[in-house]
């Protein structure tokens, strides 16, 4: 095993054969196994010796079975989509997407079917709350039976919450914005005016959830938005309800300064969420 002048040694063919048939003393066996961790040549020699024993065919069968299981099997596109929706979260695969669709279709029906002039204002009042509701239904102990398990995995915590939030936004943003574009303005803000507020409220919900839990946070942010929009409308004097709602939405959504404030709120919420990331590494309340 020794080179003589150096202290570097290798496994001889005889020692490899004794290791393979199990007759090598236990201390020498440990030494050989330690050496094989860093010597590819000796590892090949010992592997060849093992293949020449009675256990060789059995090990070959085991190896072939493992490789067969590891071979990727083509997955149909429908199956991949189903797996993606399952990973995206309970909200995306539950009743929440039909609810979002019902809001969009309902606004279109009120406008083009019932002739309601302020359907866009109604849609814009509700739209920022829908992604918040989706987040509340996607993450947390009340939404996921395996929440404690997934929160402790490398793919859990904030990373999983963000993946599910992206899935929620991918459903709600294009659908509600398209519905708004198909509705007449009737004095309401532009159909895209709700996007920054919706994003800010969603990020604010995620940040606040690290303190209170997802559903409580969603109740605070979504309820706060609805109170800010609807309370002044109910207190305003006279005029059609939809006209008063459109006027209040103009104050909450229209203008460069207002949109800039929502953008700043989104950035601040994202910064707070990043600072609170460790809170997502452990289970928190509802």
CB 229 within 8 A of CB 125: yes
Low-confidence stretches of the chain (pLDDT beneath 50)? 1-7
pLDDT value of position 19: 85
Strand partners, 2: 9
DSSP string of 161-216, one letter each residue: HHHHHHHHHHHHHHHHHHHHHTS--TTPPPTTTTHHHHHHHHHHHHHHHHHH-HHH
The pLDDT tens digits for 75-128 are 555 556 556 555 666 777 778 889 999 999 999 998 888 788 889 999 999 999
Contact yes or no for 154/191 (Cβ under 8 A): no
Looking at residue 5, what is its pLDDT? 38
Structure tokens at 96: 């929440």
What pLDDT is stored for residue 39 in this prediction?
87
3-state secondary structure of 284: coil
Res 50: pLDDT: 81
What lies within 8 Å, CB to CB, of 152 at 6+ separation is 281
Instruction: Identify whether the C-beta of residue 143 lies closer than 8 Å to the C-beta of residue 90.
Output: yes
Give Cβ neighbours of residue 248 (< 8 Å, ≥ 6 apart).
Answer: 229, 232, 233, 236
- Cβ burial 179-199 (10 Å sphere, 16+ → b, else e): bbeebeeebbbebebbbbbbb
Q: Is 4 exposed, middle or buried (0-12, 13-18, 19+ CB in 10 A)?
A: exposed
pLDDT for the residue numbered 79: 58
pLDDT at 280: 85
- Say how far residue 224 (Cα) sits from the centre of its chain: 25
pLDDT tens by residue, 14-23 = 888 888 888 8
The pTM score is: 0.69
What does the pLDDT read at residue 4?
Answer: 40
Q: Where are the domains of the chain?
A: 13-70, 79-281
pLDDT at 6: 38
Residue 1, pLDDT score: 45
């Amino acid at each position: 095993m020794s080179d003589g002048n150096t202290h570097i040694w290798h496994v001889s063919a005889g020692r490899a054969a004794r290791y393979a048939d199990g007759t090598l003393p236990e201390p020498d066996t440990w030494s050989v196994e330690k050496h094989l961790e860093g010597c590819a040549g000796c590892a090949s020699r010992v592997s060849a010796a093992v293949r020449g024993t009675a256990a060789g065919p059995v090990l070959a069968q085991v190896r072939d079975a493992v490789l067969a299981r590891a071979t990727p099997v083509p997955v149909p596109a429908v199956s991949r989509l189903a797996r993606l929706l399952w990973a995206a979260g309970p909200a995306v695969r539950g009743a929440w997407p039909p609810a979002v669709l019902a809001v969009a279709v309902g606004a279109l029906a009120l406008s083009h079917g019932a002739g309601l002039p302020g359907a866009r204002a109604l849609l814009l009042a509700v739209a920022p709350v829908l992604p918040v509701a989706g987040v509340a239904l996607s993450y947390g102990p009340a939404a996921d039976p395996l929440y404690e398990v997934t929160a402790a995995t490398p793919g859990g915590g904030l990373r999983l919450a963000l993946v599910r939030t992206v899935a929620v936004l991918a459903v709600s943003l294009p659908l509600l914005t398209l519905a708004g574009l198909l509705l007449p303005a009737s004095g309401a803000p532009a159909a895209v005016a709700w996007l920054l507020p919706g994003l800010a409220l969603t990020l604010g919900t995620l940040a606040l959830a690290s303190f209170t839990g997802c559903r409580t946070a969603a109740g605070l942010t979504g309820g706060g938005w609805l109170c800010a929009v609807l309370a002044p409308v109910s207190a305003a004097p006279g005029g059609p309800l939809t006209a008063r709602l459109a006027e209040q939405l103009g104050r909450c959504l229209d203008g460069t300064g207002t949109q800039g404030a929502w953008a700043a709120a989104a950035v601040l919420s994202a910064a707070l969420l990043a600072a609170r990331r460790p809170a997502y590494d452990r289970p928190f309340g509802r």
